[in-house]
Structure 1
């Protein structure tokens, strides 16, 4: 479900601001740009004679990124492009004015690079940054306006980087680790798991002031893979904030992302890209039906083992599971109109499925007349959220889907009795009062056009 607002704003800015055109090269091609997350890497501090080195540096970062989970598992969801921005001089400026200069042995210098990246930003030596964010936006708008995430690699051998809208990293010590850490900030809005200071402390995927294990944002992971509720410090404001892990990449370079951060990254990937790449047939065929009728889907598989699952139903009855092709015989159909639906979802164990708040689904439905053939085809992408869970009195449902369809939710007790029914409308928060229900576990069933597309456990405290 890609967002177009940023693109429109960039195109508008393009009409107002002149920007230079640079060579754009695709260094990773996983599929159509419109169906992938487009990561765009720009260079700063590379002279024209150093552009081959920039391509090498960008490729090295890309290889580091896709060796790191969960990016390794979802490599097929990304395309990577580079923009060969040419600077007048090599490197990045270093005024030598930061408060912590005594900890570093880096020569002071002023460099005329394209984006004005410099060390010592905000009086921190290793904070390699540029306040000239507009120039980055303009280069992107001119050269690759349909980007999803951009990153700046700076041609400098000294340790440094920053987050923000556009992550920035040097190509020196720990270059790949820095860039991946900073990408966590910019792509997913992950917070540092070392204390980032009072100004940057905020509620986020991996940062909270909540201490109740039943309410904390990552409650589903507590006790799994060393996830807990760990204060940032023992005193001061930092002690009022908590992180989920003691050794996540968002705290220390050289460590993997913790389970909570991995889940957040996967959620972002699911927000941007459908796991369903294509399907056939795509056109109606109102004519005399010729059997068997063949139906096929192509999915964006995860690696190394594909965790995508597909469920095919014919007239609301399970027809096939975890196959990409089905064949419908005339004997399979009822007289009149029939409905064949395939539902694709990701069953990775990197998401805590039982207690996970969101469900991402892709569906395709074909209406089939047993004599005339395919009458109608609809494809949809859905994001269903149910929270909080467990809950005492009220459960919230939120629906986002590309077709703006309504979804029917049925809450069913464990003995099979339907206790609540509610209709969800697109982009609305729907509250359901369950205060009168008995404590225990219930099943919530989600229906699109009378087809069961998902089920989740609901715990009533």
Structure 2
């Protein structure tokens, strides 16, 4: 509503600032184009009990042509049902408002650079992000927000019309997933854990050790720890005498209820710990978020809605 000074800082994985830029944004600047007077058509998929105090989620269509809009709406409903099938989203369902924005593409599908395939789509998405075959994203953020101008949104979920496995989710950025793959539903929920609440990946592979998290720095994410500064995470859920690392068990019931220091998370097999043996943030096979993630999600939902 008035001029504001905005500073953007780039930090390394030790949270040290390595670059920054400051700009003054003046809303009345004549060079700022006014968007939103003619919002992109959208359907309301789920209406919050109080639309003046809720969490607004906007779905965007990517790689859906005009004749595929019915398919897109059905995919949005599938994704919405998948998210609300999980706690704590089910318990707080009435605090969410969900719309499906009909961003029409000229061509169906998405681009696959490694195969020389480039599609003319609404958001210009593509596989092979950072040269990772399954990392599906869009870097066209202006397009994303232009399509959304004039609609109520805080969190963005982009559905890509492809049957190839892929996606990505980044906190307060967007959640993007392919809709035609058999893992569509668990992936959309997993990626929403990233984009909505900043939950970390709880998996690690021997063949893909990535030193994203320095072992002497506590991760800011609520669901993993290096034990560098564990206070305020899930220590209250752990029984006294629980060993570090906590051994895994083949008993599914015991595994579900046991909270500890399970080693292997944040793309590192050693030195980074998760709270529970399995979770939606660890595998697609797990049917729910663990207690640690549920608590983090609940805290954020209440924060947004003023409880």
Q: TM-score, normalised by structure 1?
A: 0.51
Label 1:96 to 1:122 Cα distance change in 2 as closer, same or farther (>3 A): same
Give deviations 1:214-259, integer Å, cap 9, x for gaps. Answer: x4721012248222112217xx965222111221111101311110
Q: 3-state DSSP class of the match of 1:82?
A: strand
Say yes or no: does 1:232 pair with 2:264: yes
Runs (5+) with no aligned partner, structure 1: 98-107, 275-359, 361-461
Residue of structure 2 in register with 1:139 after alignment: 147
Runs (5+) with no aligned partner, structure 2: 7-24, 240-255
Select 2:50's aligned residue among 32, 57, 80. 32
Residue of structure 2 in register with 1:197 after alignment: 210
Select 1:207's aligned residue among 216, 220, 224. 224
Residue of structure 1 in register with 2:291 after alignment: 259
Select 2:273's aligned residue among 232, 239, 242. 242
C-alpha contact 2:35 2:150 (8 A) present in aligned 1: no
Task: List, as ranges, runs of 4+ consecutive aligned residues in structure 1 with deviation greater than 6 Å.
Answer: 9-14
C-alpha contact 2:57 2:155 (8 A) present in aligned 1: yes
Take 1:58 and 1:114, find their aligned partners in 2: how far apart are those partners? 17
Stretch deviating more after TM superposition (14-23 or 122-131) = 14-23
Q: 3-state DSSP class of the match of 2:70?
A: helix
Label 1:135 to 1:198 Cα distance change in 2 as closer, same or farther (>3 A): farther
Take 1:30 and 1:177, find their aligned partners in 2: how far apart are those partners? 24
Label 1:115 to 1:12 Cα distance change in 2 as closer, same or farther (>3 A): farther
Take 2:268 and 2:72, find their aligned partners in 1: how far apart are those partners? 42
Higher share in helix: 2
C-alpha contact 1:203 1:209 (8 A) present in aligned 2: no
Give the CA deviation at 1:175: 1.0
C-alpha contact 1:24 1:143 (8 A) present in aligned 2: no
Take 2:28 and 2:142, find their aligned partners in 1: how far apart are those partners? 13
Higher share in strand: 1
Give the CA deviation at 1:18: 5.7
Q: 3-state DSSP class of the match of 2:57?
A: strand
Say yes or no: does 1:183 pair with 2:192: yes
Take 1:24 and 1:10, find their aligned partners in 2: how far apart are those partners? 30
Label 1:245 to 1:17 Cα distance change in 2 as closer, same or farther (>3 A): farther
Return the index of the structure with the highest Cα Rg.
Answer: 1
C-alpha contact 2:44 2:99 (8 A) present in aligned 1: yes
Give the CA deviation at 1:33: 2.1
